[in-house]
Amino acid sequence: MNIKYIHLGFATIFFLSYTGFIFWWGVLNIKYNLKTAIISIITAILIFLSSLSTIKFGYGMFELTFIGLIIYWNLKISKNS
């Protein structure tokens, strides 16, 4: 089996689970802190839409966008908590 497909499979699982965590964390915390919840939901949607960047720019550009949005989310959540 090609190592490329193994890496792609694990990367996809990680991407979907982490994006799902951010989204559902926002949905479940919407009644406690509206601003943080909205930031989480919007960030999760942007992360999911950033996967479309693989169509034109390739996998590396998606990874950079993904990491940038994760850092943004972590900074915003830590500031608002």
3-state helix, strand, coil in the chain (%, to 5): 85, 0, 15
Q: Which residues contact 30 (CB under 8 A, 6 or more apart)?
A: 37, 38
> Is residue 48 within 8 Å of 19, Cβ to Cβ?
yes
pLDDT at 28: 92
| Closest C-alpha among 46, 51, 53 to residue 69 | 46
Residue 61: which domain range?
A: 3-80
Task: Give pTM, 2 decimals.
Answer: 0.78
User: How many domains does the chain contain in total?
Assistant: 1
> For residue range 6-50, what is the model confidence (pLDDT) as tens digits?
887 888 888 889 999 999 999 999 899 888 899 899 999 998 888
Q: How confident is the model at residue 12, as a pLDDT?
A: 82
Q: How confident is the model at residue 81 (pLDDT cuts 50, 70, 90)?
A: low
Res 57 pLDDT > 80: no
Distance CA 24, CA 26 (A): 5
Instruction: Tell me what pLDDT residue 1 has.
Output: 67
